[in-house]
Amino acid sequence: MEYLNQTSIKAVRPEIFQQQQPYPWVNIQNTLTAEGFERLRETLPDVSLFERQVGKKRAYGQGSHDRYLLHYLPGLTMAEPWKDFIAELHGEAYMSFLGRMFGPEIGNRLILTMEWYFAWQGCAVSPHCDARRKLATHIFYFNTDADWEAGWGGHILVLDDKGRFKPHSAPAFDDLQVGAEIDPRGNGSLLFQRTDHSWHGVRPLQPPPGKLRKLFIITINVPTFQVWWRRVRGKDPDGYRFKPNGARQ
């Protein structure tokens, strides 16, 4: 079966995406087929497999991004629907979509990395711009109205600095204007392009104990020197080391 909803993917117009303010972004509804979304949601990796990251120091004085994180590398044990979906993401249809959004000359050079992010009460994502090796990020949502209430937060904020801050800085939420507030529930996804002013973040979550906000994130990397140097040392673009059998070290 197919997981990506080709009708929704093909409806995204690259010229509108590129003209979006304060930087290129699009919230795609029904990104996955209905059956594909349910299969993936029901077979998400168990949180026991994740690394719990709390208080991890970030550069430039930015606040820590607390979360459970599971990084994908070839050989990772996971359910069949996820194996099939990740294979589809490396296939012609998705790569053609990226080529259409960012230009075919770029599309042929892209390197995808992927992670699952689960977050609990109090977790937040401080305002930041991504590293320059990241051309774009594609975030898939895996909560629904049945397991996540709007009042608990978790909205992804597209932030506008009006060109006032360098990417290597640490503005607070109050220093930035909210350009858009994306509800991360239901079968949808957010695609945004990295620029020197592509600020984004998530305010502290307010669910009851035991409730988790669940995302799957694709990072769309370009082969910068940093990416090349990590590859020489046996690492992927995010800095995770490959073992000979492809498992994470």
| Alpha helices, DSSP H, located in the chain | 6-11, 14-19, 34-42, 80-89, 92-102, 104-107, 225-232
What is the pTM assigned to this prediction? 0.94
pLDDT tens across 214-234, in order? 999 999 999 999 999 999 999
Arithmetic mean of pLDDT, 82-86: 98
Least confident among 174-178, 196-200, 231-235: 231-235
Can you give the pLDDT at residue 246?
43
Can you give the pLDDT at residue 221?
95
Query: Which phi and psi angles does 235 have, rounded to 5°?
Result: -120, 160
At residue 2, does pLDDT exceed 70? Answer: yes
At residue 105, does pLDDT exceed 80? Answer: no
* Distance from C-alpha of 57 to C-alpha of 138, rounded to nearest angstrom: 24
Cα–Cα nearest to 164, from 192, 199, 191, 130: 199
| Alpha helices, DSSP H, located in 67-216 | 80-89, 92-102, 104-107
Where residue 244 falls among pLDDT bands split at 50, 70, 90?
A: low
pLDDT tens across 70-79, in order? 999 999 999 9
Arithmetic mean of pLDDT, 45-70: 92
At residue 114, does pLDDT exceed 90? Answer: yes
Can you give the pLDDT at residue 242?
87
Burial of 228 (C-beta count, 10 Å sphere; 0-12/13-18/19+): exposed
Arithmetic mean of pLDDT, 4-29: 97
Can you give the pLDDT at residue 247?
44
* Edge-to-edge strands, sheet with 213-221: 25-29, 188-193, 134-141, 213-221, 111-119, 67-71, 51-53
The gap between the terminal CA atoms of the chain, to the nearest Å, is 32
Cα–Cα nearest to 140, from 22, 40, 73: 40
List, in order of start, the domains of the chain with CATH numbers.
6-232 (2.60.120.620)
Can you give the pLDDT at residue 235?
94
pLDDT tens across 122-145, in order? 999 999 999 999 999 999 999 999
